[in-house]
Amino acid sequence: MNIKPIDVYDSNRRKLFGFFHLFSYALGGGEKVLWEAVISTLENDYNNVAVIYTFTPSTDTSIYSILLGVKETFGIDFLRSDREYLRDRIVFIHLSDKYSWLINGSSYPVLSMIGQAIGSVFLVMSGFQQVTPDVFIDTIGIPFTYMLVYGFLHIPIISYIHYPTVSRDMLKAAKNIGGIYGILKYGYWWVLLQLYSLNIIWVNIALYNSTWTAENVMSALGWAGDDAEIEENILYPPCVSFDDYDFDKVSIPELLLKKREKNIVYLAQFRPEKRHKLLIQHYKEYLQQYEEKGISEPHKLVFIGALRQGKDEEYVKSLKDLIGELEIPSELIIFELNAPTSNVEKWLQNSDFGINCMWKEHFGIAVVEYMLNGAIPLVHASAGPLEDIVIPRVDGHALGKGESKKHLKVEDDERSGLFFKDETDPDYNKANVETYPTLTDMLLSASGLTDVYKNKMRENAIYVSREKFGRGAFTTKWDKCISEVLATENEHRDKRGTVERVY
C-alpha cells in the first residue's frame, strides 16, 4: 500500500496552534487575551486546533471548571451545546505543577530574571516533548524561549506583548545607583537586554497591547518604528467579548439619554499602584472647594474591584482608615467588593464619570469599559489612556496615532475625557502644570461641566471606544495575523523532507 504524506497546502490539513500560557485558569487581563485569541483561532478555520500548555491550580482541576470560569468571567462560552465543534479542538497539555516555581520570581533570591528565563526554556521543552505545535503563540511573556522555538525548531512565533520584559529605563536606573552595586546591576540588566534582543528578533509577528508597550520594546531593542508601523503592530486587548451579543443591542442614543447619578466610579484591582489613596486625598481637597466653585452637590466616589484574601483585604482596610482620618463622610465613598458583572455594568451605565489614577497604565481596559458604557473618563495623562484610549473624535472618527500628532489643538467639542498630572508622578515636572491640571482641579472641572458639554463628551467617548474596541475588533486583526503566520508555516514545512511531512 502506498501511503503518501498530506500535501502542505491541502485545505484539510490540521494546524496545531500552541498557546503557551502557564496560568490559563487565572482569569485576569492576560487570560482574557488568551481565550479571545483561542476562540478566534478556532472559528477562523475548522482545521485549526488550539493546544494550551498550562499548569493547574489544584490536582482536582478539570477542563470543565476552567472553561466554566472563562464563561462566567469573560462571557466566552465554549460549553454551549452548539459549540462541540470548538471544544473538540481544544487540547490541554498539563505541565507538571511541581515545576511552577521555575518561573516564579520569588523562587530566586538573586538573578531572578535569569532564573525565570532558564526555567521558561525548560518548560517549553517539556511541553514540546508531549506535543510540538505548528505555530507557537506566547500570550504570557516568555521571550527568552524564542531562539529555541524559531531559530532551532523553525516553528513560527506570534508574540503578544503586554509589557517590555527589559527596558532602557532599567539601565538608566542602575546607572544612577553608583558604586560597585550599581556597576553590577547595570551589567546584569545590560546582559539581559542583549539576551532579550537576541531572542525577540526571531518573532514572526509581534503584537503590542498599547503604544506605550510598543515604543518601550522598540526603544529597548534600538528599533526605529514610525507611527504607521507602530499602529500596525498594536492589537488592543479584547474589550468586548466574542460572545457579547447584548453589546450590539445597547444603542448609543439609549446610553446618552440615561439619567446619570453624580458618581465617579473607580473600577480597578485593590493594589497600591492604582493609587486609590491619592484619589482619596485629592477628593478631600475637592470637598473643601466645590461650593466655592458654584457646585451645589459633590460627586460621590465608588470603588469597585475584586477582593482576594490577604494583601487586598489589608489594602482596603487602609483605604477605609484613611477616609476616617481625613473625616470624609462615609456615605460619600462607596465600596463595591466582588460585585457581579451585571452590577458593575449598572454602575457604569448610571454614573457620570469613571476614573483611573494609575501612572503609566500600559493599556487601561477599565477606561475602555467606562467609555463603552457612557461614563466620561477622568484619567492620568500617560501611557495607554493618553495615547490609545481617551483620544479626540474629529470629523466623526477617532484620530489615529499619526493624526493625533498633526492635530495639535483639540477643541472642546472633540474631547472624549479629561486628564490630570500629579506632583508625585516619577516623571513630573512643573511644565506639566501648564498642560494638565492637578487631580483636585480635574475633579472640580468635571463636576462643573454643563449637561450639554457632558453629553457631547460622553457621545465622543462612546463613538471612539466602539470604533477602536468594539465587538469583533480584536478578532478582525487576529485573523489577519493567523493568515500571515500560516503562510510562513507552509513555507517552512514545504522545505522539509517527505518523511517529516507524514502525518
Does residue 148 sit in helix, strand or coil? helix
- E-state strands within 338-475: 351-356, 376-380, 393-394, 397-398, 418-420
Do both 296 and 325 map to the same domain? yes
CATH of the domain at 446: 3.40.50.2000
Mean pLDDT, residues 419-439 taken together: 83
Identify whether 190 is part of a domain: no
448 pLDDT above the threshold of 60: yes
- Kindly report the pTM of this predicted structure: 0.84
Identify whether 191 is part of a domain: no
501 pLDDT above the threshold of 70: no
**pLDDT reported for residue 416:** 92
Identify whether 183 is part of a domain: no
Do both 225 and 347 map to the same domain? no
Do both 316 and 368 map to the same domain? yes
Do both 161 and 256 map to the same domain? no
22-36, 88-102, 164-178, 327-341: which has the minimum mean pLDDT?
Answer: 164-178
Confidence of residue 395 (pLDDT cuts 50, 70, 90): confident
Identify whether 161 is part of a domain: yes
Confidence of residue 22 (pLDDT cuts 50, 70, 90): very high
Identify whether 188 is part of a domain: no
- pLDDT tens across 195-213, in order? 988 899 999 999 999 888 8
Confidence of residue 375 (pLDDT cuts 50, 70, 90): very high
Does residue 424 sit in helix, strand or coil? coil
**pLDDT reported for residue 404:** 56
DSSP label of 139: S
Do both 65 and 85 map to the same domain? yes
499 pLDDT above the threshold of 50: no
**pLDDT reported for residue 250:** 74
4 pLDDT above the threshold of 70: no
398 pLDDT above the threshold of 90: no
Q: Which domain holds residue 150?
A: 15-165+204-238+472-494
Do both 220 and 330 map to the same domain? no
Do both 483 and 360 map to the same domain? no
Identify whether 421 is part of a domain: yes
Do both 299 and 377 map to the same domain? yes
CATH of the domain at 220: 3.40.50
1 pLDDT above the threshold of 60: no
407 pLDDT above the threshold of 50: no
Do both 332 and 457 map to the same domain? yes
**pLDDT reported for residue 497:** 56
**pLDDT reported for residue 503:** 42
Do both 226 and 285 map to the same domain? no
Based on the structure, what is the number of domains in the chain?
A: 2
Of 256, 158, 269, 233, residue with least CA distance to 466:
256
Do both 284 and 149 map to the same domain? no
Confidence of residue 309 (pLDDT cuts 50, 70, 90): low
Q: Where are the alpha helices (DSSP H) in 56-144?
A: 63-74, 84-87, 112-130
131 pLDDT above the threshold of 50: yes
Identify whether 194 is part of a domain: no
Do both 272 and 380 map to the same domain? yes
Q: How far is CA 224 from CA 160, 196, 215, 220, 317, in A?
A: 19, 17, 9, 10, 46
Identify whether 404 is part of a domain: yes
